[in-house]
Amino acid sequence: MSIVGLLLIVIGWGIQVFNSSKEKKQIQPYFLVLYILGAVLLVADGLFAAWTANGIAGLVNGLSLVTFLNILAAFLAVVVLMKIRD
């Protein structure tokens, strides 16, 4: 399931980069949909794997990692937004 999630994210970024190279300074809807679906698949797969391997401790550890990665993704989204607005 994680490979499918990563593939969706890569396809979404490919669409975004291809369209932004045409001087279109906007976020493409297909990028958002594919990125969100890919991220949900990655999170679900990671949490399921942590929970089945280590029980509740693995689930809590997985949730803390997800929180960190969400903060990192939010930071990167702000960077992209600043670049688009320039």
DSSP one-letter string for 18-35: HHHTTT--S--HHHHHHH
Which residues, in sequence order, are CB contacts of 79 under 8 Å at separation 6+? none
Which pTM was predicted?
0.62
> What residues make up the domain containing 44?
2-85
Structural domain count, the chain: 1
Please give the share of the chain, as a percent, with pLDDT higher than 90. Answer: 14
Give residue-wise pLDDT tens across range 52-69: 777 777 667 767 877 888
The answer on pLDDT for 26 being more than 80 is yes
Which amino acid makes up residue 65? L
What is the torsion angle, in degrees rounded to the nearest 10, for the CA atoms of residue 47, residue 31, residue 74 and residue 71? 10
Cβ atoms within 10 Å of 24's Cβ, excluding its own: 12
Retrieve residue 70's tokens: 């969400």
